[in-house]
Amino acid sequence: FKPVSARVGNLNVTVQGKPLSVLVTTLDDKPVQKITFTPDGKMSFALDDQPVLGLGEGGPKQTGDSWRTDKIELDRRGRLHPMTPWYGTGTYGSYNPVPLMVGTAGWGLFIPTPWGAIDLSDSETGKFIPADPIPPGTVVSRGQQRRGRIGMPPPEYFTAGLYDVFVFDAQDPAALMKDISTISGQAVLPPKWVLGYQQSHRTVRDESQMLEVVDTFREKQIPLDSVCYLGTGFCPSGWNKKQPSFEFNPGVFKRDPKEVLADMHKRNVKVMMHVIPWDRDRLETIQGTIPPKPGEKLDNTHIQNYWNQHNALVDAGVDAWWPDEGDWFNFHERMKRHELYYTGPLS
């Protein structure tokens, strides 16, 4: 077909065929980005000699102790990015991929659909390679969390040849951030106390030790805004019964836990607890909204009912959560879990 051109906001967009491509320029015809779709389902885009930022937290997988001397990867050019979430000891931290790229030459790309790998190994052309979906009916449980292909969207999310692609003019970084927030929503403003020092504790002897640690910080005049306690199973003796559990550990709390947490609040600290989700035998999936919308299935998979299991802890004085694990959840379930811990406390 003949090329079709139109103005979209402050950009000019031209769509061409054979191969299908989209050229985006500024109103004064300066190139922003050109993306091309190939018959095999891949998508290519233009690269230049300037750094490419983004793609989420973390860098290439590291082994041994090399991570202590490796440089942090800010410029993402030069390699294939599998876009698979992972974590491991002896690394800078976890890898949490986000298909958003910002070329410092003045362009941005966000590819939410489909999921796939991003190849930046070529100096002139980047490629997006759609992933093969997990077969329908596949159940990924906790025991499979380190076997790869985790964190992908569910199979029904994949439609061959279907893309959602956002192209940004990134010449003005502030305007770019505003454009991104228009798509993603604005970042949640955290409470002021989370910006302060948080003391994380592993094995807990008893409630007296919990209070002694806070008192020591106060006596030494070391700032302390919150304390976080690991769950049992991740240490020999944590705040709760063996994870996953919403019950206080009776071996640690000799008094009513509500009284202990009240004593901690009197010392002007917030209390955070480490939690992990139920496995697939008790939490087949995560769905729904808080409050529930009409027509939602209010079974044990609904986030309202899942949040209700936290209420007794909230009533006892727990201020915040460290939601750990959940690596076996698919992408949509992971987002629902974020929603759970945001909307739950507001309900």
Element (H, E) at 97: strand 96-103
Q: How far is CA 161 from CA 19, 41, 82, 158, in A?
A: 14, 6, 19, 9
**For the residues of 265-301, what is the DSSP string, one character each?**
HHTT-EEEEEE----TTT-S--B--SSPPTT---STT
Euclidean distance between CA atoms 325 and 329, whole angstroms: 9
Encoding tokens for residue 169? 């003019």
Euclidean distance between CA atoms 270 and 278, whole angstroms: 25
Residues with Cβ within 8 Å of 19's Cβ and at least 6 positions away in sequence, in order, are 36, 37, 38, 39
* Residue 152 pLDDT: 81
Encoding tokens for residue 297? 């299935």
* Residue 187 pLDDT: 87
* Residue 309 pLDDT: 97
Domains of the chain plus CATH, in order, are 4-184 (2.60.40), 192-346 (3.20.20.80)
Backbone φ and ψ for 27, nearest 5 degrees, come out as: -65, -20
What is the three-class DSSP state of 303? helix
Residues with Cβ within 8 Å of 5's Cβ and at least 6 positions away in sequence, in order, are 12, 13, 14, 15
Encoding tokens for residue 241? 């019964």
- 287 within 8 A of 301, measured Cβ to Cβ: yes
What is the three-class DSSP state of 67? helix
**Rg of the chain, C-alpha, whole Å:** 24
Pure H helices in 185-225: 207-219
- 332 within 8 A of 287, measured Cβ to Cβ: no
* Residue 254 pLDDT: 96
What is the three-class DSSP state of 53? strand
Other beta carbons within 10 Å of 285:
17
Euclidean distance between CA atoms 246 and 94, whole angstroms: 26
- 84 within 8 A of 148, measured Cβ to Cβ: yes
Bridge partners of 275? 323
From 255, 259, 261, 195, select the one nearest 225 (Cα to Cα). Answer: 195
Greatest Cα-to-Cα distance within the chain, rounded to the nearest angstrom: 78
Per-residue pLDDT of the chain (347 residues; tens, 9 = 90+): 799 999 999 999 999 998 999 999 999 999 999 999 998 999 999 999 999 999 998 877 766 667 777 778 899 999 999 998 877 666 667 788 999 999 999 999 999 999 999 999 999 999 999 998 888 877 788 877 666 667 788 888 888 889 999 999 999 999 999 999 999 998 888 999 999 999 999 999 999 999 999 999 999 999 999 999 999 999 999 999 999 999 999 999 999 999 999 999 999 999 999 999 999 999 999 999 999 999 999 999 999 999 999 999 999 999 999 999 888 898 899 999 999 999 999 99
E strand intervals along 202-269: 226-229
Backbone φ and ψ for 60, nearest 5 degrees, come out as: -65, 155
